[in-house]
Amino acid sequence: MTNQDVAEKLREVYNLMQLAGENRFRAIAFDRAAQTIEGLNEEVTKRIEEGTLTDIKGIGKSIAEDIKAFQETGTMPVLEALKEKVPEGLIEWLNISGLGPKNIAKIHKELGITEIAELKEACQSGAVAALPGLGQKSADKIIKSIKYLEKFGERARLDQALEIAEPMYKFIKELNGVQQCEIAGSLRRSRETIGDIDIIVAADESDASTIFDAFTGHELVVEILGRGDTKSSVRTENGRQVDLRIVKPEEYPAALMYFTGSKEHNIVMRQRARERGMALNEYGLFELNDAKETDFDKPVKTSSEKEIYQKLGLNFVPPEHREDRGEFEYYTEHEEMKLVRDGDIKGVIHAHSTYSDGKYSIKQMAEACIERGYTYLGITDHSRTAAYAGGLAIDDVKRQWDEIDELNEALKSDGKNFTVFRGMESDILSDGSLDYPDEILKGFDFVIASVHSGLEMPQDKMMERFKHAIENPYTTMLGHPTGRLLLRRDGSKLDINKIIEWAADAGVAIEINASPWRLDLDWSYGNKAKEAGLFTSINPDAHSTEGIDDIRYGVMIARKAKFEPARVLNTKSADEFLEWCRERRES
């Protein structure tokens, strides 16, 4: 039983409670507990054995009993009871834009339907429109939302969200009347997948209508979902919903904080405000009256998010860290955390060429790196077992080494301060060994060890597989450890906390694979990585020259995972990187 297993069950309880009409605050407690379990630096099973589950913030006696029951029986009594109340198909309805738990329950009760296909049919037949409080307009919106859900899914990858959010943001911030503007929500927090896109604007009320006109008329908009005095929602050409909120200038700092989230972070912030005789909401920070109620006539003046944090006894918390995963303890004591930035990255590690499944030659990949200002490239084509990806036979490896040596000589002759390293993405075989004999492995400058097959291997076997790979003296770093593909495929079942410990002890790095399909190592293990002193490398896993630019997404995740430049290998110079790799091999 992994932490992720427990978190998934707790979230299932949360979703079913909403649909069953259970107490809202009780439901939220399960959602918060799921978030807490995901962020643990150790396996929850250890806490169960020690009897210390309730020592974890957010895990009360009742939820602790549910977790213990899950370990013992494979399920939770509270979950089974909810399943009796809520048909399984209804939970998928929560992904339908504009259809909340209240209306889901109403439609189900009145029409007796549970599947999305049945809902679509009921909207088309007029049955939904005939229900009190809904009507034809609501039915039409539900049909449109279902069609978008069928085509695009309910969430987007980080790169897909930025593709829409950034041009919209740049357009809006230049509009007349816009005094301040920022992307908010989970995108501002650098989450790996995004639902709706939120943009917050500070403007005078007299300018709001004109701003909304421009927003809803943007070339990327294909449908206006709703328009009011303070908020408008649109659907864009890639299926994403974008919400624009316009607030008064004096409300902007609190609104930006509130709509950035996370929900868990905001809850703690409101608690801190009350402890200091104040109330914090999306409109601002206010004094409490004698009855401990918000006194809207007594606002506490704040001109920025930073000032709100200061009033509540904190230094500024970067948006990436607003997840209630240790940020309150840290930013109470520290002014800032030194985090890696795009400009810190000096070299490109983990890139493929035409030797395996890349689109461009080694020389073309090197030239693309030089154009972007990098000073080295680590070519890491697939090893021989990955025949489906053109894995290199030993003769191919030797031929590639000769080409790299010749290219380095040519670069030196041309006066270019650039080095191409001999790397390899070696498959971790089922027994944990690497894909070449030692006499070949020692010829590489570095080796990324990755699992590409047998991803559903039982956890105990998979852990042994990783342990052996980490112990191999030729393993420099682990590649995309879980093997997940976001919104397509779950990762392998692993005790990542233990793998981090093994890797840190052995001097092996674990990459943050910057491909927006992967973003693996997951940011949620950042606290454990920091505690263990783990090194990473922000690797694009580039199969084309364009793929090099995915490093951007890896930097976003590395910042969220609290990596400072000193623990990121490709912030080192070429000589320093090579020296680190050699020291690992000799240790």
- Does residue 318 sit in the same domain as residue 370? no
Confidence band, pLDDT 50/70/90 cuts, at residue 321: very high
Confidence band, pLDDT 50/70/90 cuts, at residue 560: very high
- Does residue 218 sit in the same domain as residue 277? no
**Residue 344 in domain:** no
Tell me the mean pLDDT in the region 449-471.
Answer: 96
Confidence band, pLDDT 50/70/90 cuts, at residue 337: very high
Distance (Å) of CA 384 to CA 121, 263, 391, 422, 476: 52, 47, 4, 16, 18
Tell me the mean pLDDT in the region 6-26.
Answer: 86
Average pLDDT score, the chain: 93
Residue where a domain terminates, one of 223, 247, 271: 247
Lowest mean pLDDT among 49-53, 421-425, 429-433: 49-53
**Residue 533 in domain:** yes
The answer to whether 241 and 196 are in contact (CB under 8 A) is yes
The answer to whether 386 and 380 are in contact (CB under 8 A) is no
CATH number for 41: 1.10.150.110
Query: How close are the terminal C-alpha atoms of the chain, in Å?
Result: 34
Residue where a domain terminates, one of 279, 298, 333: 333
Tell me the mean pLDDT in the region 387-401.
Answer: 94
Confidence band, pLDDT 50/70/90 cuts, at residue 32: confident
Q: 277 in the Ramachandran plot: left (φ > 0), alpha (ψ -120 to 50) or beta? A: left
**Residue 169 in domain:** yes
Q: CA dihedral defined by 428, 430, 434, 437, rounded to 10 degrees?
A: -160
**Residue 585 in domain:** no
Q: And the tokens for 162?
A: 């930025």
- At residue 98, the pLDDT reads 66
- Residues with Cβ within 8 Å of 220's Cβ and at least 6 positions away in sequence, in order, are 164, 167, 168, 236, 237
Q: CA dihedral defined by 163, 165, 168, 174, rounded to 10 degrees?
A: -120
CATH number for 295: 3.30.210.10
- Does residue 95 sit in the same domain as residue 73? no
**Residue 342 in domain:** no
- Does residue 433 sit in the same domain as residue 478? yes
Q: And the tokens for 378?
A: 């680590």
The answer to whether 542 and 365 are in contact (CB under 8 A) is yes
Q: What residues form DSSP beta bridges with 280?
A: 285
The answer to whether 62 and 68 are in contact (CB under 8 A) is no
**Residue 205 in domain:** yes
Residue with tokens 């409670």: 17
**Residue 295 in domain:** yes
- Does residue 424 sit in the same domain as residue 456? yes
pLDDT in tens, 401-411: 999 999 999 99
- Does residue 273 sit in the same domain as residue 238? no
Q: Would you say residue 252 has pLDDT above 80?
A: yes
CA-nearest of 3, 151, 144, 20 to 79 is 20
pLDDT in tens, 296-307: 899 999 999 999
Pairwise CA distance, residues 153 & 239, whole Å:
8
- Does residue 228 sit in the same domain as residue 265? no
- Does residue 420 sit in the same domain as residue 302? no
Lowest mean pLDDT among 86-100, 160-174, 508-522: 86-100
The parent domain of residue 310 ranges over: 258-333
- At residue 152, the pLDDT reads 64
The answer to whether 148 and 187 are in contact (CB under 8 A) is no
CATH number for 506: 3.20.20.140
Residue with tokens 């738990």: 101
The answer to whether 317 and 327 are in contact (CB under 8 A) is yes
- Does residue 145 sit in the same domain as residue 282? no
Tell me the mean pLDDT in the region 57-70.
Answer: 91
For 71, phi then psi, to 5°, come to -65, -40
Pairwise CA distance, residues 434 & 506, whole Å:
16
- Does residue 370 sit in the same domain as residue 465? yes
State how many domains the chain has: 5
Tell me the mean pLDDT in the region 210-236.
Answer: 92
Please give the radius of gyration of the chain, using alpha carbons only, rounded to the nearest integer: 26
Pairwise CA distance, residues 52 & 100, whole Å:
37
Pairwise CA distance, residues 551 & 570, whole Å:
11
Pairwise CA distance, residues 546 & 205, whole Å:
43
- At residue 34, the pLDDT reads 87
Q: 483 in the Ramachandran plot: left (φ > 0), alpha (ψ -120 to 50) or beta? A: left
**Residue 570 in domain:** no
The answer to whether 164 and 172 are in contact (CB under 8 A) is no
CA-nearest of 307, 304, 336, 333 to 320 is 336
DSSP conformation class of 6: H
pLDDT in tens, 103-146: 888 898 889 888 888 999 999 999 999 998 888 988 988 898 88
Tell me the mean pLDDT in the region 546-566.
Answer: 98
**Which residues of 84-130 form beta strands (DSSP E)?**
none
Q: Would you say residue 100 has pLDDT above 80?
A: no
Stated as kind and residue range, the H or E segment containing 85 is helix 77-85
Residue where a domain terminates, one of 129, 152, 175: 152
- At residue 106, the pLDDT reads 87
Q: Pairing state of beta strands 419-427 and 231-236?
A: unpaired
Q: And the tokens for 481?
A: 């450890």
Tell me the mean pLDDT in the region 59-74.
Answer: 91
CATH number for 203: 3.30.460.10
Count of residues making up the chain: 587
CA angle 330/8/463 to nearest 5° reads: 80
- Does residue 41 sit in the same domain as residue 179? no
pLDDT in tens, 463-513: 999 999 999 999 999 999 999 989 878 889 999 999 999 999 999 999 999
DSSP assignment of 539-572: E--BSSTGGGGGHHHHHHHHHHTT--GGGBGGGS
Q: Would you say residue 24 has pLDDT above 90?
A: no
Q: Is the peptide bond prior to 145 cis by the omega test (within 30 degrees of 0)? A: no
Q: Would you say residue 212 has pLDDT above 90?
A: yes
- Does residue 520 sit in the same domain as residue 422? yes
The more confident residue out of 127 and 85 is 127
